[in-house]
Amino acid sequence: MRSVHEQNDSFDNVSEREMLALEQIESNPEITQRQLSKNIGIALGLTNVLVKNLAQKGYIKATQAGWKRWLYNLTPEGISHKINLTQKYIIRTISNYNVIKESIRTDLALTSLHLESRIAIIGSGDFAELVYLALKNHGVEDIQTFAIEPEYGQKFLGMHVNKVTKTGLRDFDKIFFAEMGSIDNAFNILEPTVPGNKIVAFTLDGKPVEGN
């Protein structure tokens, strides 16, 4: 039997795209590839390749319903594959959360942070959610979210996403740049406006790195 770590490693970007595509197709068999591309967040050409691969693997069945109009349905193999991918995704999410929570506890000595500490999280994806939950688990309450270029009206866990500005982050005790493997990018963007010792970035395996 494979270990949890091995199962977690087997869930890569391709697996995530397949899972998202199968979820979208299951909920809307009439979805177009353009809609699928937008919902998943990948290029239209890549979506076309993804759909063809899913059909070739026997996970979906494509039926022409008119001129340039197709219906997509999950096969029994596709349903089983989607369930398997979802389980791996959950395992990866739990594993990442535990790594982040433990790293924050041991590496950043969050005992110095308390209910009145002000934290900024830059990012709004799944990893940012894990960082947010780990901070809340440590008793941090004042958390605000930011993005370099937020979309109009963008929300993160029900909170308004603010735009990163030259002065907007100065009053925070710590700024978490919540993207894995973005250490250089984080410090290049933030150090001109905030002290390096306030910045926390993350390695590719989710471990936090604090600036000097």
Cβ pair 40, 24 in contact under 8 A: yes
Distance CA 120, CA 41 (A): 25
φ, ψ (nearest 5 deg) of residue 80: -65, -40
pLDDT of residue 5: 38
pLDDT (0 to 100) of residue 53: 94
Average pLDDT, the chain: 83
Say which residue the tokens 């999280």 belong to: 121
Mind listing the pLDDT tens digit for each residue in 18-74? 999 999 999 999 999 999 998 888 889 999 999 999 999 999 999 987 777 889 999
Under 8 Å CB-to-CB from 188, ≥6 apart: which residues? none
Give the least confident one: 45-49, 81-85, 130-134.
130-134
Q: What is the DSSP letter of 191?
A: T
Q: Residue 127: its pLDDT value, please?
A: 83
User: pLDDT at position 3, please?
Assistant: 37
pLDDT interval class at 145 (50, 70, 90): very high
- The answer on pLDDT for 163 being more than 60 is yes
Residue ranges and CATH numbers for the domains of the chain are 4-92 (1.10.10.10), 108-210 (3.40.50.720)
